[in-house]
Amino acid sequence: MASKLKFDQEPRGSKGRLERLATLDVESRDDFLTGYRTWGSSRAIPAAVKRFDKLLEEAGIDPKSTDTPMEEIFAAIDGDPIIGVAARYRAGVHDVMHRNFDEEFKSNADYYLAEMEEFDNRGPGSLELYPDLDIPDYARYEIHTQPGGYVGNPFAGHIYHYSTNNFYNAGKLFNYQDELHTRLGNQVPEPEDGKVTRVLDIGCGIGQLAVAMKERFVDAEVWGIDAGGPMIRYGHMRAVELDVAVNFAQRMAEDTKFPDNHFDIVASYILHHEVPEEISKDITKEVHRILRPGGVFFPIDFQTGSSPGARSAYAKYSQWKDHRWNEEVWRQEYARFDFPEAMADAGFEVTREGPPAWRSRYNLLGTKKA
């Protein structure tokens, strides 16, 4: 869609849906870091896993067991350079990657803020920002070590978008054109009666899943809510540029402000492992309230509880690293959380098998009883 807005000028054009970064310097650094991350994923991590398993076997520990205390694992791998390099590469690439983007957007803050402001009141779709929203501490941490997190940096959406492109590309998931979110949006089940008039994406971030669902359910009213005002502000701007009518609102997932029995579908993407267990339960109860009878809840996330995500000692160690060094504050708590049971307790009929989503992630389907 051609735009006449003063500030909607891509300095270096776009590649399909993706606006190119403003300078060649920023883009070339991003390209290098993506390549470095690809090397880490394809070479450093496999080498570390092989070395890790060997060291555990030498220490008399079964590498396939998830019952070994972390202290024993640490003792077995202590000082190993291969495992150390693999651990350090990821933290390092995150730090440099975030700094690359943070410096670009903050150095040109007036331009980027003015661009978002021009889109704030423009459609299709709408944007509701609540600067005085009481955001709890659990939502304020610097998730994934992103500077300012999702609520404390006006360019959180910009940084998140380009950073996750780096992450997905290195994992050969490719999302430069929202390919991953389009696949996930197409996997969201419909209610048995086929009625889809209202759809909600909770914890929507920059709204990629919400946009995908609107493109699938063209005639439906689609909403995306998130505690992060900067995230949905960027998401709204992007949806308008794509000419996709998604409504964004800054609200908490455990207190959505929507009426009872309002939505036909509520979905989420990697939300629940980013919140405390009790909040996840509150969110699930809230989803049950706002879904109409026969409506479906489709949370896409890691496996938990009776289907634990850690299926080896290395997976357990990797989960710990994520918690300790990647600001995944509730990652380990979530791994012990029986999410299917929480959904059942909230009143859902739970289906534990769903279409494949992404690697070790799985889909639970909760249906609200008629």
- Summarised one tens digit per residue, pLDDT across range 101-154 is 999 999 999 999 999 999 999 999 999 999 999 999 999 999 999 999 999 999
**What is the per-residue pLDDT for 296?**
96
184: its two tokens: 């996930």
How big is the chain, counted in residues? 370
**What is the per-residue pLDDT for 2?**
41
Q: Is residue 260 within 8 Å of 340, Cβ to Cβ? A: no
Instruction: Tell me the percentage of the chain whose pLDDT exceeds 90.
Output: 76
Q: Is residue 335 within 8 Å of 309, Cβ to Cβ? A: yes
Q: Is residue 276 within 8 Å of 138, Cβ to Cβ? A: yes
Write down the pTM of the prediction.
0.92
What is the arithmetic mean of pLDDT over 171-175? 83
**What is the per-residue pLDDT for 7?**
59
Name which of 187, 207, 189, 202 is nearest 286 in CA terms: 202
**What is the per-residue pLDDT for 241?**
94
| Mean pLDDT of the chain, nearest integer | 91
**What is the per-residue pLDDT for 357?**
46
pLDDT tens digit sequence for 248-297? 999 999 999 999 999 999 999 999 999 999 999 999 999 999 999 999 99
Q: Does the structure show a pLDDT above 90 at 313?
A: yes
**Confidence label for 3 from pLDDT (cuts 50, 70 and 90):** very low
**What is the per-residue pLDDT for 285?**
98
What is the arithmetic mean of pLDDT over 91-96? 89
**What is the per-residue pLDDT for 358?**
42
Cα→Cα distances 167→81, 86, 97, 161, 352, Å: 24, 16, 10, 10, 28
**Confidence label for 10 from pLDDT (cuts 50, 70 and 90):** confident
Amino acid at 70: M
Please give the residue that has the higher pLDDT: either 154 or 3: 154
pLDDT tens digit sequence for 188-236? 999 999 999 999 999 999 999 999 999 999 999 999 999 999 999 999 9
What is the arithmetic mean of pLDDT over 291-315? 79
**What is the per-residue pLDDT for 155?**
97
**What is the per-residue pLDDT for 148?**
96
**What is the per-residue pLDDT for 189?**
92
**Confidence label for 171 from pLDDT (cuts 50, 70 and 90):** confident
Please give the residue that has the higher pLDDT: either 13 or 90: 13
DSSP H helices in the chain? 24-39, 45-58, 70-77, 81-107, 109-120, 156-170, 179-187, 208-216, 229-241, 277-290, 313-325, 331-336, 339-345
**What is the per-residue pLDDT for 369?**
85
**What is the per-residue pLDDT for 90?**
82
Q: Does the structure show a pLDDT above 70 at 356?
A: no
**Distance between CA atoms of residues 120 and 265, nearest Å:** 26
Do the strands 348-351 and 291-301 form a parallel or antiparallel pair, or are they unpaired? unpaired
Distance of CA 28 to the CA centre of its chain: 25
**Confidence label for 242 from pLDDT (cuts 50, 70 and 90):** very high
Local structure of 195: helix, strand or coil: coil
**Distance between CA atoms of residues 204 and 202, nearest Å:** 5
